[in-house]
Structure 1
């Protein structure tokens, strides 16, 4: 248990250090470790040492001579008592940690983008810690609010920063946006998934012992209070626009083939050739991929409720142009797909 709490405290320390250049990476890895050790402590107290993997012959699986314990994703499934929003928050960070494992992101965009999820990850951790082991394990009294610099960057600075995003960072930002859009409204708006706070400087205190900063939970405000806060120019509130209609204007694979063939002259594509084409241009993962959301969203989007993929008009436009101008025959394209060869989509886009 001490190892779990130490990991969480170190995660907060790393995150709050102003000169940290790997803030999100360090925080996420340490918090995943804290959560994993929390579950292991709980399982050890309730089921003994049965949270280790075993082979069919009954022997333990070993990694570097040590017994292999359940990783966090397995712990979540075995515990099976988490709130949906808490589980969504944890799964978000498990996926994100896997994505940043081989990247080093020094820009602040990821830090600010996922601040709400990071704060919920920490809140949820302490809530479960107390629920499983009691109030004496509460650690919030040892923490204080981190200090903030007052200057807000200008729109020009933000635009310049966005234009300089590396491909790795752009991929991470795209993942965050796609993951959020898979969540239902209740989960997305839940404080267990992402904390949404308004920080209000207090101009004067009625009591000199009062805290200098007041944190207001947005979801607890009345409609009138929300309207009043919206009028304050000192509040910077990021707003995510969520489109409620699903798959408007999106196209199923058979419809893609039909539309492409309507416009091709002297050529046509089949459903198997379409499969070869999306593999060659890597616009979506293959069936059974670990992360089905890894699509090129300009051309293809994963439809989670139906566990399949839908395509954009841009994909039809690209295929028509490609088939008319590339000079590659269907047999050549099928062979490329079969052997795992890929093409760069921007080399053929018009």
Structure 2
């Protein structure tokens, strides 16, 4: 469940409050400056700063810092209510993932997967930093209890791998596997030339996007989801089997292939099939008899449906649908209350409705024998209920 960060003020905000008190701002007005859609500040938080019962060690902001704060106020993203400074980590996480997807979907780029991986890792790092900050986890590198510094002298914060390895990491195993896989690929591509790897990694990249959107909703709230910002990508061509085989097999660098194999070989079959690690969807051309339905560019399909027979793999698993011979359909119709219905009637109805057309989904040919699905039985009952009689 998403949890609000609460009504606490950050150190820089306490400094601003002290500067405002020094300028004789009344507590009620100060409270209004620090409350926003994602956080409500209680009047007591201002009073304890004014009375000196808390935050005595924090210095007041300078006049210039206060002026900058007032000039930028409210400094809130109108779409999400996030404060661009107070919620900086979450803002950066969202923007980095949006940039990663936009980059990957941009036409004319030759190294889209590489750019996506690097930018999405930044997004996930900011997201987990934001989570750990809210939960009170110190996500800085330490050695002997001393916070490590970068060459420029600032605190050194965890990289994504350390965020994932921490005991309080909130992500599922499949999500962690996906991110560790992409991190491994990043190490391989960071200092080497690569060729076409987009198609070979696409299932993992798609899983990364969906996992991020699920995580930000679960950890921070549904209002921060990205689906309204990121439409489905469009492409100008479809691919036949030979074309796709050529794309998949084209020039995958040996070091990338080796890294992928080594990582995946260490996973169980269940972990490899987890959609949070690798998300695969089957798409088939869709023809609809109704204009209102024919504009659906993408449909999710289940195994056993006529559409699913045109693809090798589907996302959802389901037991095989029951099949019936024509005589069994007639028997079922009789049992449903239409005792006069016979095999001749069935044959006539099949011809009238052209029911054996594969695209209609009423049945399937197996080893030279036609079998009917339950859907055809329902259709027969529907026609009889409408008053169908033999010509």
Verify same fold: TM over 0.5.
yes
- Find the aligned partners of 1:34 and 1:131 in 2 and give their Cα distance: 16
- Find the aligned partners of 1:160 and 1:116 in 2 and give their Cα distance: 15
* Aligned-residue RMSD, C-alpha: 2.8
- Find the aligned partners of 1:135 and 1:157 in 2 and give their Cα distance: 37
**1:170 and 2:257 matched:** no
1:25-78 deviation line (CA, Å, top 9, x unaligned)? 100000000000001111111216x21112315243334222110110111122
Specify whether residues 153 and 70 from structure 1 end up closer, same or farther in structure 2 by C-alpha distance, changes over 3 A only: same
- Find the aligned partners of 2:282 and 2:208 in 1 and give their Cα distance: 18
Question: Is the partner of 1:124 in helix, strand or coil?
Answer: helix
Specify whether residues 211 and 5 from structure 1 end up closer, same or farther in structure 2 by C-alpha distance, changes over 3 A only: farther
Q: Is the 8 A contact 1:15 1:27 kept in 2?
A: yes
Moved more, 5-14 or 148-157: 148-157
Question: Is the partner of 2:118 in helix, strand or coil?
Answer: helix
Specify whether residues 57 and 142 from structure 1 end up closer, same or farther in structure 2 by C-alpha distance, changes over 3 A only: closer
Of 274, 279, 283, which aligns to 1:195? Answer: 279
TM-score normalized with structure 2 length? 0.52
Of 156, 172, 176, which aligns to 1:68? Answer: 156
**1:54 and 2:142 matched:** yes
* Structure 1 residue 127, shift from structure 2 partner: 0.8
**1:132 and 2:208 matched:** no
Report what 2:100 is aligned to.
11
Report what 1:31 is aligned to.
120
* Structure 1 residue 231, shift from structure 2 partner: 3.8
**1:208 and 2:296 matched:** no
Q: Is the 8 A contact 1:200 1:213 kept in 2?
A: no
Question: Is the partner of 2:283 in helix, strand or coil?
Answer: strand
Q: Is the 8 A contact 2:179 2:208 kept in 1?
A: yes
5+ long unaligned stretches in structure 2: 1-89, 315-391
Specify whether residues 81 and 151 from structure 1 end up closer, same or farther in structure 2 by C-alpha distance, changes over 3 A only: closer
Report what 2:264 is aligned to.
180
Report what 1:347 is aligned to.
none
**1:147 and 2:231 matched:** no
Specify whether residues 215 and 174 from structure 1 end up closer, same or farther in structure 2 by C-alpha distance, changes over 3 A only: farther
- Find the aligned partners of 1:24 and 1:128 in 2 and give their Cα distance: 22
Q: Is the 8 A contact 1:55 1:61 kept in 2?
A: no
What is the count of residue pairs matched by the alignment? 225
- Find the aligned partners of 1:210 and 1:124 in 2 and give their Cα distance: 30
Of 38, 44, 48, which aligns to 2:133? Answer: 44
TM-score normalized with structure 1 length? 0.58
Question: Is the partner of 2:298 in helix, strand or coil?
Answer: strand
**1:123 and 2:210 matched:** yes
* Structure 1 residue 104, shift from structure 2 partner: 3.1
Matches within 5 A, 1:1-350: 1-47=90-136, 50-56=138-144, 58-78=146-166, 79-107=168-196, 110-152=197-239, 155=242, 162=249, 165=251, 169-204=253-288, 206=290, 208=292, 212-216=296-300, 221-222=302-303, 224-225=304-305, 228-229=306-307, 231-232=309-310, 235=311
* Structure 1 residue 186, shift from structure 2 partner: 1.7
- Find the aligned partners of 1:181 and 1:23 in 2 and give their Cα distance: 25
Specify whether residues 205 and 118 from structure 1 end up closer, same or farther in structure 2 by C-alpha distance, changes over 3 A only: farther
Q: Is the 8 A contact 2:283 2:298 kept in 1?
A: yes
Specify whether residues 116 and 229 from structure 1 end up closer, same or farther in structure 2 by C-alpha distance, changes over 3 A only: same
5+ long unaligned stretches in structure 1: 239-350
* Structure 1 residue 236, shift from structure 2 partner: 6.7
Q: Is the 8 A contact 1:38 1:129 kept in 2?
A: yes
Moved more, 198-207 or 77-86: 198-207
Q: Is the 8 A contact 2:287 2:294 kept in 1?
A: no
Specify whether residues 204 and 178 from structure 1 end up closer, same or farther in structure 2 by C-alpha distance, changes over 3 A only: same
